[in-house]
Amino acid sequence: MAGLLGQYGLSPVTIKETSTFADRDIPRLRHSLHDAPMAENRISLDRLVPGVFVRLELDWHEHDFLNANFVIQNQGQIEELRRLGVTEIAYDPKRSTSRPLPAKAAAPAPAAPAGPREDPLARARRERKLKDRRHRIQRSEEGYRRSMDRVKHLMTHLGSQGPESVREAGELVNESVDAMLADQESVLHLMSTTAKAENLYFHALNVMVLSLILGRKAGLNSEQMRQLGLGALFHDVGKARIPYAVCNKETPLTRAEEDFFRQHPSYGVEMAAQMGLNDPGAVAVIRQHHEHLDGSGYPRGLKTDAITVPARIVAIVNAYDELCNQRDAERSSTPHEALSQLYRKKGNWYDDRLLAQFVQVMGVYPPGTIAVLSNERIGMVLATENNQRCLRPPMILYDPDVPKESAPILEPGDDPDIVVVQTLRPLQLSEEVFDYLNPQTRLSYYFDAGNRNRPA
């Protein structure tokens, strides 16, 4: 491995796991879905039938089964396992009421291909998938740019045309909610961003998009989703009343400055009233987005049931975005680290169930994560599929033999034995790999809801 990694400008010493979750919470980050702790009792999925007692080797947040050990009840459960990326599974003959199907007779080993040429059909299939992925990314980027223009416009006119801005925001939120609810499988993509001086807009749109993705996962109805989206978009509007020097201070705030800053949710509520934003659900998000379940938040120190579900969602997403996107990029957490840090607060600050659902929608390796794979390639996660619970999200790969414009993309279904073994910080990359993968200094996400009802 050292030789290959050397060509990326890395050595085994310079690569280290950037962070891990606490043991009790952690998904088995390096766990291959195909590890075989019970080799004598493992079967391929095509041998599975109802009545077989199985043991899942996935973590609790990677699947929706009630227990990890259970008797297969129907074909639907087998299909669900297949969707999870499981190809082999451990089973217990003693607790099974049916026997697995017999193994297929061993087929003779296929003849070695005559040459290195790829099967034309397989190649065509791969190229079609690649084209489709690039098309989806491009479509998301276009939707993102249009939405960002609308956010900039409405935010810059808040003071002079408050009601008009609220109306425009309502339209953007409604279109986004409709698109997301129309396509439950819509994908979350990493966006490339270039502007640096517009953090406020990036943050507002990012929090809105991720909150809606989490809200959908949490089962919010369309009305709750609209309140959530509007509250998320305007959650920090009260910062307009906090002096720039306080909001952007490089050194720690004084006690007086901290007290002042902690009023921004209350200022936001006042501003919402002036703007004509009267939706109580959205206003609650603005008021409560810094409250913690244990009462340690601000401005009111509210606890558990006093904090609305949409406000709990925005609290998680807001914290994630702020961890990933510090003004000093070197202090930013990687997406993987940010999830880890949120987990350390689990049960104290954030809603347990919502946090687990956030990991489900973002993936253990959220878009923007840079990782070394078990085949010694280096890549960056591009997207998170809504229904994807495996540990191998779509990734763009570094390949010195291919121009970066045509960089290979590894899809979750490609070669399931390849798994992530380590995550890296962008600064650990050589200049060449950095330029190739182009990790973003600001992590922004947008969804691709296909052609149906996507935001104009």
- Tell whether residue 448 is a contact of Fe ion (CB under 5 A): no
62 or 236, CB closer to Fe ion?
A: 236
Q: In angstroms, what is the minimal distance from the CB of 167 to Fe ion?
A: 23
Residue window 235-274: x/- pattern of binding to Fe ion, with contact defined by CB under 5 A: -x--------------------------------------
- Tell whether residue 57 is a contact of Fe ion (CB under 5 A): no
214 or 395, CB closer to Fe ion?
A: 214
Q: Which amino acid is at 427?
A: L
Q: In angstroms, what is the minimal distance from the CB of 288 to Fe ion?
A: 10
Stretch that binds Fe ion, among 40-48, 98-106, 229-237, 292-300 (CB under 5 A): 229-237
Under 8 Å between Cβ of 332 and 323: yes
How many residues interact with Fe ion (rule CB under 5 A)?
1
Q: In angstroms, what is the minimal distance from the CB of 252 to Fe ion?
A: 17
Q: From 121, 150, 166, select the one nearest 276 (Cα to Cα).
A: 166
290 or 336, CB closer to Fe ion?
A: 290
Under 8 Å between Cβ of 203 and 321: yes
Q: Exposure of 270 by Cβ count < 10 A (0-12 exposed, 13-18 middle, 19+ buried)?
A: middle
Residue 85 gets the label, from left (phi > 0), alpha (psi -120 to 50) or beta, of left
Q: What is the secondary structure of 224-285 as a DSSP string? A: HHHHHHHHHHTTTGGGGGS-HHHHT-SSPPPHHHHHHHTTHHHHHHHHHHHHT---HHHHHH
Nearest residue to Fe ion, by Cβ distance, number only: 236
* Residue 324 phi, psi dihedral angles, 5° rounding: -80, -20
Q: Which amino acid is at 280?
A: P
57 or 236, CB closer to Fe ion?
A: 236
Stretch that binds Fe ion, among 181-189, 213-221, 228-236, 419-427 (CB under 5 A): 228-236
Q: From 214, 89, 229, 254, select the one nearest 169 (Cα to Cα).
A: 229
Q: In angstroms, what is the minimal distance from the CB of 160 to Fe ion?
A: 23
DSSP 8-state class, residue 6: H
Q: In angstroms, what is the minimal distance from the CB of 5 to Fe ion?
A: 41
Q: In angstroms, what is the minimal distance from the CB of 373 to Fe ion?
A: 37
133 or 203, CB closer to Fe ion?
A: 203
Q: In angstroms, what is the minimal distance from the CB of 222 to Fe ion?
A: 26
Which stretches of the chain bind Fe ion, using CB under 5 A? 236
